Amino acid sequence: MMNFQVYNQGKDRLRVAFFSKKTFGGSFEDEINLQKIAEYNNIEIHLFDTDDERFFKFGSVADHKLLDEDACIIRRYSFIIEYLKINNVSICIFFSSGFAWTKKFLDRLKEITYTACWFADDPEGSDYTSKPYVKNYMYSFCGGIYFNSYEKIADKYIEWGARKSKFIPLGALPSKCRFDNKIVKHEDRKIEIVYVGGCYFPKVFRMFKLKKHFGDRMKIYGRGWNESESLVKTLILKFIKFIYQIPQIEELPKDEFVELYQNTKVGFNMHMSHGPSNQRLYELPANGVLQVCDCEKGLLEIFNINEEVIAYKNISDAIKKIEYYLNNDNERIVISKAGYQKILKYFRTEMSFGKIIKEIKKDEYYKK
């Protein structure tokens, strides 16, 4: 199966192709996100979808020669190019990883449309998501800020050969908040602290130390916290959970996400190393949750610290600050309201796509 789904169809609208439905953290599987992005920016979105798993693998750039010689992949590439020609698509934006799209294919694409990528897995995923591929696009956007303590991800993209690069905040998705009614109640919330996110080993000890301190006052949801695809990692994880006395951790049903956040006082956010570079950064304040987050240096480029968000240096510092705001509810409410207003005005995902399109239109390579 392979096709394009069209959103916000209109004769005179700018036509933009998104690659692909199963990327961007699964956000494009929620139609409301595509509808809001298209309507806000007055564009017509052509969403590519396929059940060919090779388009979603994280492989090596060395395998691109095999893709370029694969008869099935060649036919799929040709279908895409023909579709874009017939439908006069002006811009193509690629997400998640550059592996599925070879330089040979993208060079053909550049003859008929503008190509851009927007990757968000840096710095940990750089070697297989962005570093080998950003040089193949006309514009390479990143969703994270700092690559390490002193270098920005956008600058690393240029170092890796990108023609142009810029940080674009991921923003809060329409499906993960309720901006339409603009009614978010900051008072009378029942859940003290929440973390929603998958398990990555660099996070395990920090998360379990936090959970051990707060006990039942803290709710954790996400995949991978009980077992791993690796038997060795599963055994290690179970041992660590036993030591810290951590109960079973379940995944959160998608339709319960907003309700959970809008009944939570404090939302915990952490990264494996540098950043910030996750959507949790925007989703927490978008639902009126007081966010306590690491990566203070990058955080300063999004929020006013201690006014719209709380930054922590280590888990002990995070515990101390979380306890303070749980015991000083009026201060929590003031900061959570300010964070909410910041997201509402500046950091919604549909706004971020507007920033991308604006940057592309300024580029001399862009053809109207």
pLDDT tens by residue, 26-67: 899 999 999 999 999 999 999 999 988 777 776 777 788 888
Q: Bin 245: left if φ > 0, else alpha if -120 < ψ < 50, else beta.
A: left
CB atoms within 10 A of CB 185: 9
Q: Give the per-residue pLDDT at 180.
A: 66
Structure tokens at 112: 């008929």
Distance CA 260, CA 221 (A): 11
Q: Give the per-residue pLDDT at 228.
A: 85
Distance CA 96, CA 100 (A): 10
List all residues 6 or more positions away from 251 whose beta carbon is below 8 Å from its beta carbon: 221, 222, 223
Q: Which domains does the chain have, with CATH numbers?
A: 2-171+348-362 (3.40.50), 174-346 (3.40.50.2000)
Please name the amino acid found at residue 117: C
Give a three-class secondary structure readout of the chain. Answer: CEEEEEECCCCCCEEEEEECCCCHHHHHHCHHHHHHHHHHHCEEEEEEEECCHHHHCCCCHHHHHHHHHCHHHHHHHHHHHHHHHHCCCCEEEEECCCCCCCHHHHHHHHCCCEEEEEECCCCCCHHHHCCCCHHHCCEEEECCCECCCCCEHHHHHHHCCCCCEEECCCCECHHHCCCCCCCCCCCCCCEEEEEECCCCHHHHHHHHHHHHHHHHHEEEECCCCCCCCCHHHHHHHHHHHHHHCCCCCCCCCHHHHHHHHCCEEEEEECCCCCCCCCCHHHHHHHCCCEEEECCHHHHCCCCCECCCEEECCCHHHHHHHHHHHHHCHHHHHHHHHHHHHHHHHHCEHHHHHHHHHHHHHHCCCCCC
Q: Give the per-residue pLDDT at 182.
A: 61
Q: Give the per-residue pLDDT at 67.
A: 83
Return per-residue pLDDT of the chain as tens, 368 residues.
789 999 999 989 999 999 999 888 889 999 999 999 999 999 999 999 998 877 777 677 778 888 888 888 899 999 999 999 999 999 999 998 888 899 999 999 999 999 999 999 889 889 988 999 999 999 999 999 999 999 999 999 999 999 999 999 999 999 999 876 566 888 999 999 999 999 888 899 999 999 999 999 999 999 999 988 888 889 999 999 999 999 999 999 999 999 999 999 999 999 988 999 999 999 999 999 999 999 999 999 999 999 999 999 999 999 999 999 999 999 999 999 999 999 999 999 999 999 999 999 999 999 76
Distance CA 39, CA 209 (A): 44
Strand partners, 175: none
Q: Give the per-residue pLDDT at 340.
A: 95
Q: Give the per-residue pLDDT at 327.
A: 97
List all residues 6 or more positions away from 108 whose beta carbon is below 8 Å from its beta carbon: 77, 81
